Amino acid sequence: MTTETRSRHTISLAGQKPRFEGPRGSITHMDVTDLPILRRLSIRRLLLAPLGLREPHWHANAHELGYCVHGEALITIAGNHAERESFVIQAGEMFFVPSGAMHSIENIGTGPAEFVLAFSHEKPEDFGIKAAFGAMSDAVLGNTYDLPAAAFTPFDRQVAGSEILELPAHRAIEDEARHVNPYKYSVEATPPQIDYPAGNAHTTKAALWPALRDIAMFSVTITQQGMREPHWHPETAEMGYVLTGQARMTILNPDGQTDTYLIGPGDAYFIPAAYPHHIENVGEGNVHLLIFFDQVSPGDVGYRSLINVYPRAVLAAAFGIPEAELPEFPFTEIDPLLVPRPNPLDPVL
């Protein structure tokens, strides 16, 4: 097996130059400009220093699904008909923002905060509050707020709004912000839906988190004794981000060529719908992946169960070997997704 370090399916998000970088943080992107194979999904890495604020903004064509890697932040969302949501998230928790809803992310902790942000479009369109106000005349804004036009003369209309701002000081957080919220989900605190010695998976799907639309995520850990069985998602693209560990992936492309490559912390990858692929742990310690899908309830076809669909004669004809030489495949009613790895690891070249 030949293992490549680069593939058209993957990119080092941590190694990308930030699209925005300032004293209070940075934003690094992986969209279709960076990885042309992307469709219906993209990803960003947001870093916020203490008192850093992601400017109130919205995405015209994409829902946003965020995961807090570390730190503590206040998420504030302005939605339809003066709807307002404001809640605190910490490491291992997630938030969802519908397309078009203005929202901000504020670091309220004493240390840095890191977020992995996924979007339901390959190239999200962003609007910031500063630019939105700057597009309107003083008179129009005055009429909106029953104020004289002169009240808006100090607004800076020449410079594009900063994506990350600096607040002067920490402010009091209302008690309600620490309560349960429909746009917040404590993914790592919930019992894993899949739990084996080979690894586990905490899932966010519509059945568990009704607020979701057009996007979902699995937080998957693969132990040194396990691997993600070869599989595909019939109608669902997959985009992943490596939090910890070293893994190897193999993807079959429609032209019959395979990509086999290594991924590590800070790497992101994309697999179009129905492309067969697998993931295995090839390093020390566990591999922790955030795996995003472009549907709220992703489907899955695993190699382990699909082999039971056809008679052995059909399988022998397909593989071009005598029926007697076929392995004695175990009957599997439901795919385990994560399987043990009793055989020696293929060499990492």
**Fold match, 11-185 / 194-340:** yes
Q: How far apart are CA 298 and CA 179, in angstroms?
A: 29
Q: Which residues of the chain have pLDDT under 70?
A: 1-6, 159, 161
Using an 8 Å Cβ cutoff, are 190 and 180 in contact? no
SS3 228: strand
Q: Which helix (H) or strand (E) is 133 found in, with range? A: helix 129-134
pLDDT of residue 79: 86
pLDDT of residue 348: 80
pLDDT of residue 158: 74
pLDDT of residue 5: 55
Using an 8 Å Cβ cutoff, are 296 and 205 in contact? yes
Q: Which helix (H) or strand (E) is 67 found in, with range? A: strand 64-70
pLDDT of residue 31: 97
Domain 11-185's class?
mainly beta
Q: Where are the domains of the chain?
A: 11-185, 194-340
- According to DSSP, residue 328 is labeled -
194 to 18, 20, 198: CA distances (angstroms): 35, 38, 10
Contacts of 259 (CB under 8 A, 6+ apart): 4, 7, 8, 9, 249, 250, 251, 253
Tens digit of pLDDT for each residue in 98-124?
A: 999 999 999 999 999 999 999 999 999
Q: How far apart are CA 293 and CA 125, in angstroms?
A: 19
- Superfamily for domain range 194-340: Jelly Rolls (2.60.120.10)
pLDDT of residue 299: 93
Q: What is the rounded radius of gyration, in angstroms, for the C-alpha atoms of the chain?
A: 23
Tokens standing for residue 261 = 């490559």
Torsion of CA 47, 184, 75, 141, to 10 degrees: 130
Using an 8 Å Cβ cutoff, are 78 and 97 in contact? no
Using an 8 Å Cβ cutoff, are 94 and 68 in contact? yes
pLDDT of residue 102: 97
